[in-house]
Structure formats: structure tokens, C-alpha cells
């Protein structure tokens, strides 16, 4: 079988300036990173402020399974198809993390004939954004330790340093560590989070420009004094140097699809442990340059779409016009109890049971006032009866499920979906509103998401968690949205409970204040902010041949 990387290499690529020209981006507004990728200059981005916005379309998905859904592939295929039918369209995606690339999930550049290129670069070092974010994060950690070493002028309680370290790799051994062995001041307990879970990553993705970036970095809370007052990155004097490290990372990256259409790939927070969206800067620039912008939110709609609506759209003032919900027959059958090894066999009963997961997501998306269409991402083993079953179920919900074949056919395979999305935009039936108001207490915001999106009976939180939330409200953080970190595989905190379960509670294990990013993180169940590698990591199959070509990445 031809691999994604073979398909990408077989299609000639135009220089990045050609893709930029489709959005009327002049050559002098590009900072080239070789032949086929570039950043957009800050002066050009500022020049766009007075232009009107295009229409924003969100692509989200049912809960992921090992069978695959193809959310990124569908985002790219839809963007290509909208261009194919005459809509000037830009695609906005997140940058892949090295952790899943070498672990289990893989990269985030699409697949088949719906890819962005250069896929090897994008999935590995790209333009260095993740390295800069990691460096800025760890510089702050080093400066906190240095402050303690040289006299502790801010009277930091060493037991209440809350700023951990970060690296963009799955390494379970670093989740909890002890630093300072043999150093002045003695040992201290800390740990590592994966870079995509860093507050610095969230700040880069939510900042509106360089000034806002520095202000947000300065508001990061790194520790607490003995009197329990907060110490920030600005107090430590780290915000300026961190901004210097990130001055290029904050500029959006421009690449292209296999069909030569423009795609902004910028920022990469995970939706199961962070807010899971492409950067505000990239999305807003694309809206000024294109008639339609197609973007994705991470993992299932219960995580990615909810955070896109309640965090990104709320904080950036965005109002999406339509939502595409990606599903596959294979994943629906798994949600209906079918084993992965049996998915090639037709089983309409399992499929019908699994459709409940799809229905739950449709109901949830409608809570935000955005019209929905289902993209039924086609696999070769899908039978006509299975496709018809899903389409009939969708009609019973009052939505349309459109079979899409963009993986095999490129833009031609998603043309029906593109026409339906264009129709939704033209109908202008969106009445977007977040799920909860800013005036609700923090715990009530969590409870609102738990009850209305996850269908939980309630929220379980220890007194220490409730007290911490109450203290943050007293300190002026009551209006912040909440970012719930939980498993992506289920509406519950138990990854084995598939479908559309009810009769469960949301258990909050910990809460973290991301004062710079502007949200409160609720860590639920057994979710980890530093993943581990699987038994057989993808890294074992990746290498470089005698011609210097990477193999095994996909």
C-alpha cells in the first residue's frame, strides 16, 4: 500500500510564494524557511486589521478510537474542496508534537491526497516554534530557581513553587522528579509536562500580538510567598527574555496542501490537557485574507469543540458560521462494542449502537447555536448498508451525513461536503454563544460543562480543590473560563466507557491557574500532563535511508 509520505513525494510542490499569492500575500511579507514554508511578517499582519472577516468553519469529531476518524484529513480535504468550488479558502491547523509522532498517535498533516506539505518537516522540527516555547518555559523555571539561590528577595516559599518544566517528548520517568541534589538550598520536588501542555504554549496560541504576549507571560504565576501571595514571571524579571525567545514563534507559519492551497499551521496545544486550538493570530490573519477559513479543534467535540467555543472564541471574539462533525463507520462500530480486529465485517447492530456517540455530539454542538453537518469519512471496507445506516440516523437528528472520499480522491472527494458547508454559510443561520457566562463561579462553570456536555450527574471535588477555586475567585480570577483536562476517549473520565454513557460523575483531581493564558485547568480522572510511550512506539520504525529520506514517519 502506498504510504502518505510516498503520495506527498510524488506530487510536485510549488514554492510557498505561489500559495501565498492565492491569499494576496506579497513576497516581501514572507520570512522563508527554505522552499516550501514561511512565516508571515508582523508588519503585514498589522496591516490587515481594517479588513472584514471571512466565515469561520470548525471541524471537530466524535470521540476518537484506534479505528481512526480523520479530522485533520477532513479539514484539509474540505479546504481543498471549497477552493475547488470557487471559495477562496484558507486552512488553519495545529503544529504536531514530537511526543505522539514518536509515540502512538502519529503526526497531524492529514493523509492520502488530503495532506499539507512538507509533511516530514511539519511533523518534526518545522520552523522551531515548539523548541522556542520549550526554551522559554524552562528559562522561567531556571530563573525561579536562580531567584531562590541568590537570596529569595520575594520571600518565595520553596514548598509552593508551582512552575514545572517542559519538554516535547513522551517521557513518563519525568512526571515527578527531584531537583537540586547537591545544590545550595537542597532538593525540591517538581516534574515535567509535555510542551503542548505548557501555559507558554497556550499563551502563544491566545496572544493577539507581541505586546499582549509579553503581558500574558508576565502574568504567569510561578510560586507563592510565605504570606500566600502570588509571584509572577514579571516579578522574577523573566517576561522580557521569554518574549525575546518567542518573537518569531508567535508569527504564523504558512504551508500548502498537495493541491497548492494555503494552510496556516501554528501552535499545538492538546485538547485533552489544554485548549486544543490553532493560534488566534493565525486564525484572525486567515479570516482577513480568505472568504472561508476552515480550522480544527483537537480530539472529540466534547473536548476540542467545547474549548474552541468557550475559550478561544470567547477570548478572541470569534463567531463560527458552521461546524463539521467527522465520523467513520469503523469508529462508530467500535463505540457500539465491536473489537478492532473485527471492523472489516459488516455489523449493523454494532453500528446502530455506536451512533449514539454521534448523536450526543450533534446535540452538544447545537447548544452553541452553530449549524452542524456530518462528514462521514469513507474507508474502503465500508459497505453501502453501513453508510446508509449512518445517513438515516443523521436524518433522524435533523442533520445531513455526507460521505467523503478526500483521502483517496483529494478535493473531488469532498466536493459535496464543501457545497453543503457553503450553503450553511450563505444561509447565515448561526447564532453562536458560549455555553456559560463569565459571571458564573468557577466550580459552576465546571459543573455546567460536566452536566450539559458530558451528561455527568455531578462533579466530585475534594475540599482542597474547592478552596483553591474559591481563593482564585477572591483574587480576581472569577471571570476566567475553564479548561477541563480528561480522557479524549469517552464522555466520562473512564476511557473504556464508549458510546454515550450516563450515570457517572466528573472527578476533579487537581486544578491549576493559568493566569497568563487566561483560564483555569481542571485535571480530571487519571489524565496525565506528561504522556508515556506505548509498548511499541512509532520511533522504533522511523529512520533515514541512504539518500537522506526519512521513512516510517507515516
Q: Give the CATH number of the domain where residue 62 resides.
A: 3.40.50.300
Integer Cα distance of 20 and 113 in angstroms: 21
Integer Cα distance of 235 and 282 in angstroms: 30
Integer Cα distance of 117 and 16 in angstroms: 10
Integer Cα distance of 284 and 40 in angstroms: 13
Question: Does residue 537 sit within a domain?
Answer: no
Domain boundary among 203, 227, 246: 246
Least confident of 166-175, 370-379, 535-544: 535-544
Cell of 551: 521513512
Cα 37 to Cα 166, 176, 240, 525, distances in angstroms: 26, 37, 28, 40
Integer Cα distance of 243 and 215 in angstroms: 9
Q: What pLDDT is attached to residue 498?
A: 95
Asked if residue 218 has pLDDT above 70, the reply is yes
Report the share of the chain in percent with pLDDT over 70: 99
Question: Does residue 139 sit within a domain?
Answer: yes
Q: What pLDDT is attached to residue 104?
A: 77
Q: What pLDDT is attached to residue 380?
A: 92
3-state secondary structure of 131: helix
Q: Give the CATH number of the domain where residue 211 resides.
A: 3.30.1510.10
Integer Cα distance of 86 and 513 in angstroms: 45
Give helix then strand counts, H and E, for the chain. 21, 25
294 touches 82 (CB < 8 A): yes
Q: Are residues 63 and 159 located together in one domain of the fold?
A: no
3-state secondary structure of 383: coil
Question: Does residue 462 sit within a domain?
Answer: yes
Other C-beta atoms lying within 10 Å of the C-beta of residue 225: 15
Q: Are residues 260 and 121 located together in one domain of the fold?
A: yes
Q: What pLDDT is attached to residue 137?
A: 98
Q: What pLDDT is attached to residue 232?
A: 98
Cell of 160: 509552593
Integer Cα distance of 353 and 263 in angstroms: 37
Q: What pLDDT is attached to residue 106?
A: 64
Integer Cα distance of 261 and 93 in angstroms: 13
By residue range, what is the domain housing residue 207? 129-246
Torsion sign, CA atoms 152, 157, 158, 161: negative
Question: Does residue 546 sit within a domain?
Answer: no
The residue written with cell numbers 497568563 in the block is 516
Asked if residue 186 has pLDDT above 90, the reply is no
Question: Does residue 529 sit within a domain?
Answer: no
Cell of 391: 445517513
* Number of residues written out for the chain: 554
268 touches 274 (CB < 8 A): no
Question: Does residue 93 sit within a domain?
Answer: yes
The residue written with cell numbers 473485527 in the block is 342
Q: Are residues 231 and 264 located together in one domain of the fold?
A: no
Domain boundary among 220, 246, 272: 246
Asked if residue 387 has pLDDT above 90, the reply is yes
285 touches 47 (CB < 8 A): no
DSSP 370: -
Mean residue pLDDT of the chain comes to 95
Q: Are residues 223 and 345 located together in one domain of the fold?
A: no
159 touches 148 (CB < 8 A): no
Confidence of residue 507 (pLDDT cuts 50, 70, 90): very high
Q: What is the pLDDT of residues 46-93, one digit of tens each?
A: 999 999 999 999 999 999 998 888 999 999 999 999 999 999 999 999
Q: Are residues 107 and 134 located together in one domain of the fold?
A: no
Catalytic annotation, residues: 71, 73, 94, 105, 271, 299, 379, 407
Integer Cα distance of 301 and 238 in angstroms: 36
Confidence of residue 251 (pLDDT cuts 50, 70, 90): very high
Q: Are residues 262 and 400 located together in one domain of the fold?
A: yes
Q: Across residues 394-423, what is the average pLDDT?
A: 97
Integer Cα distance of 207 and 279 in angstroms: 8
Q: What pLDDT is attached to residue 416?
A: 98
Q: Give the CATH number of the domain where residue 464 resides.
A: 3.10.410.10
DSSP 536: S
Its pTM stands at 0.95
Q: Are residues 415 and 466 located together in one domain of the fold?
A: no
Asked if residue 36 has pLDDT above 70, the reply is yes
Other C-beta atoms lying within 10 Å of the C-beta of residue 471: 12
Least confident of 240-244, 269-273, 389-393, 451-455: 269-273
Q: Across residues 471-490, what is the average pLDDT?
A: 96
Asked if residue 1 has pLDDT above 60, the reply is no
Q: What pLDDT is attached to residue 105?
A: 63
Confidence of residue 9 (pLDDT cuts 50, 70, 90): confident
Three-state SS string across 134-185, please? HHHHHHHHHHHHHHHHCCCCCCEEEEEECCCEEECCCCHHHCCEEECCCCCC
Asked if residue 107 has pLDDT above 80, the reply is no
Q: What is the pLDDT of residues 258-305, one digit of tens each?
A: 999 999 999 999 888 899 999 999 999 999 999 999 999 989 999 999
Q: Are residues 134 and 104 located together in one domain of the fold?
A: no
387 touches 340 (CB < 8 A): no
Question: Does residue 197 sit within a domain?
Answer: yes
Asked if residue 216 has pLDDT above 80, the reply is yes
Q: What pLDDT is attached to residue 13?
A: 84
Q: How many domains does the chain have?
A: 3
The residue written with cell numbers 520536588 in the block is 189
Confidence of residue 183 (pLDDT cuts 50, 70, 90): confident
Question: Does residue 541 sit within a domain?
Answer: no
Q: Across residues 208-234, what is the average pLDDT?
A: 97
Q: Across residues 245-262, what is the average pLDDT?
A: 97
Q: Are residues 378 and 464 located together in one domain of the fold?
A: no
Sequence-distant (≥ 6) Cβ neighbours of residue 126 within 8 angstroms: 37, 95, 253, 265
Domain boundary among 227, 246, 265: 246
Q: Are residues 415 and 448 located together in one domain of the fold?
A: no
Q: Are residues 24 and 50 located together in one domain of the fold?
A: yes
Q: Are residues 410 and 352 located together in one domain of the fold?
A: yes
Amino acid at each position: 500500500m502506498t504510504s502518505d509520505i510516498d503520495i506527498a513525494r510524488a506530487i510536485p510542490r510549488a514554492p510557498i510564494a505561489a500559495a501565498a499569492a492565492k491569499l494576496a500575500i506579497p513576497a516581501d511579507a514572507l520570512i522563508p524557511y527554505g522552499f516550501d514554508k514561511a512565516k508571515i511578517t508582523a508588519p503585514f499582519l498589522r496591516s490587515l486589521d481594517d479588513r472584514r472577516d471571512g466565515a469561520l468553519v470548525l471541524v471537530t469529531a466524535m470521540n476518537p478510537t484506534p479505528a481512526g476518524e480523520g479530522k485533520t484529513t477532513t479539514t484539509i480535504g474540505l479546504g481543498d474542496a471549497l477552493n475547488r468550488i470557487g471559495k477562496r479558502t484558507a486552512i488553519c491547523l495545529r503544529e504536531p508534537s514530537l511526543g505522539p509522532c514518536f509515540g502512538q498517535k502519529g503526526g497531524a498533516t492529514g493523509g492520502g491526497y488530503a495532506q499539507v506539505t512538507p509533511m516530514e518537516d511539519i511533523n518534526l522540527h518545522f520552523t522551531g516554534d515548539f523548541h522556542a516555547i520549550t526554551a522559554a518555559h524552562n528559562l522561567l523555571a531556571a530563573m525561579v530557581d536562580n531567584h531562590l539561590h541568590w537570596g529569595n528577595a520575594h520571600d518565595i516559599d520553596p514548598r509552593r513553587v508551582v512552575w514545572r518544566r517542559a519538554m516535547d517528548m513522551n517521557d513518563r520517568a519525568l512526571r515527578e522528579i527531584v531537583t537540586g541534589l547537591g545544590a545550595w538550598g537542597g532538593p525540591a520536588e517538581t516534574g515535567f509536562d509535555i510542551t503542548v501542555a505548557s501555559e507558554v504554549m497556550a499563551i502563544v496560541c491566545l496572544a493577539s500580538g507581541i505586546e499582549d504576549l509579553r503581558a500574558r507571560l508576565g502574568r504567569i504565576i510561578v510560586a507563592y510567598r510565605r504570606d500566600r501571595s502570588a509571584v509572577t514571571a514579571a516579578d522574577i524579571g523573566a517576561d522580557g527574555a521569554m518574549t525575546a525567545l518567542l518573537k518569531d514563534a508567535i508569527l504564523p507559519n504558512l504551508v500548502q496542501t498537495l493541491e497548492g492551497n494555503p494552510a496556516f499551521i501554528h501552535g499545538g496545544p492538546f485538547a485533552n490537557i489544554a485548549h486544543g486550538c490553532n493560534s488566534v493570530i493565525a486564525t484572525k490573519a486567515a479570516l482577513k485574507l480568505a472568504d472561508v477559513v476552515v480550522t480544527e479543534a483537537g480530539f472529540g467535540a466534547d473536548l476540542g469543540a467545547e474549548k474552541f467555543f468557550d475559550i478561544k472564541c470567547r477570548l478572541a471574539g470569534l463567531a463560527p458560521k458552521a461546524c463539521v462533525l467527522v465520523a467513520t463507520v469503523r469508529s462508530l462500530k467500535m463505540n457500539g462494542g465491536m473489537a478492532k480486529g473485527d471492523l472489516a465485517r459488516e455489523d449493523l447492530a454494532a453500528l446502530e449502537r455506536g451512533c449514539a456517540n454521534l448523536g450526543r455530539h450533534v446535540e452538544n454542538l447545537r447548544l452553541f447555536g452553530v449549524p452542524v453537518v456530518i462528514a462521514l469519512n469513507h474507508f474502503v471496507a465500508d459497505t453501502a448498508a453501513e453508510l446508509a445506516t449512518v445517513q438515516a440516523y443523521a436524518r433522524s437528528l435533523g442533520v445531513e451525513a455526507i460521505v467523503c472520499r478526500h483521502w483517496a480522491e483529494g478535493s473531488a472527494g469532498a466536493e459535496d461536503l464543501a457545497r453543503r458547508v457553503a450553503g450553511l454559510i450563505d444561509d447565515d443561520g448561526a447564532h453562536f454563544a458560549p455555553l456559560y457566562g463569565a459571571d458564573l463561579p468557577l466550580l459552576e462553570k465546571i459543573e455546567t460543562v460536566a452536566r450539559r456536555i458530558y451528561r455527568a450527574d455531578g462533579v466530585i471535588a475534594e475540599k482542597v480543590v474547592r478552596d483553591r477555586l474559591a481563593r482564585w475567585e477572591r483574587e480576581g480570577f472569577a471571570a476566567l473560563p475553564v479548561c477541563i483536562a480528561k480522557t479524549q476517549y469517552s464522555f466520562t473520565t473512564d476511557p473504556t466507557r464508549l458510546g454515550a454513557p450516563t450515570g457517572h460523575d466528573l472527578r476533579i483531581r487537581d486544578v491549576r491557574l493559568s493566569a497568563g493564558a487566561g483560564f483555569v485547568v481542571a485535571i480530571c480522572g487519571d489524565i496525565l500532563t506528561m504522556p508515556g510511550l506505548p509498548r511499541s512506539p512509532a520511533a522504533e520504525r522511523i529512520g533515514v535511508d541512504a539518500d537522506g529520506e526519512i521513512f516510517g514517519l507515516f
